[in-house]
Amino acid sequence: MFKPTPNPPQLPQDTKPVTRSHAFGQFLGSQALFTVREGIDIEDALIHASDRMHCAAAIACEVIERAHPEFQALARSVVHQIEVATALVEASIAGLET
């Protein structure tokens, strides 16, 4: 039988999942300007990501109030996307805590 996605690797009982190095943002030639460090506890990384998304949502809400009416719907859609991503991250954090 063919499985479209493989089983995740089995971690030893005492091993907590951690981040892998991941470059993002601007690249200067072949070097990334920003990189997520390898080895950060997943729960800590998700909590930090959740905090960042709450900040982004606050900025987007401010944009909604100040934007011209034709751009307010676009800004509301950004808030909605941030809310969805935040919910996924917070559900992941809750899953790690159980």
The pTM of this model reads: 0.74
- The structure tokens 């072949």 sit at 30
pLDDT given at position 9? 65
pLDDT given at position 54? 95
CA atoms within 13 A on the CB side of 65: 5
Spatial separation of the C-alpha atoms in residues 12 and 2, rounded to whole Å: 27
* CB atoms closer than 10 angstroms to residue 18: 14
Alpha-carbon distance values, 60 to 3, 36, 39, 52 (Å): 40, 24, 31, 12
Q: Is 53 exposed, middle or buried (0-12, 13-18, 19+ CB in 10 A)?
A: buried
Task: Parse the chain into domains and list their residue ranges.
Answer: 41-97
Give the three-class secondary structure for 24. Answer: strand
Please report, in tens digits, the pLDDT of each residue of the chain (98 residues total). Answer: 567 777 766 656 668 899 999 999 889 998 999 999 999 999 999 999 999 999 999 999 999 999 999 999 999 999 999 999 999 999 999 998 87
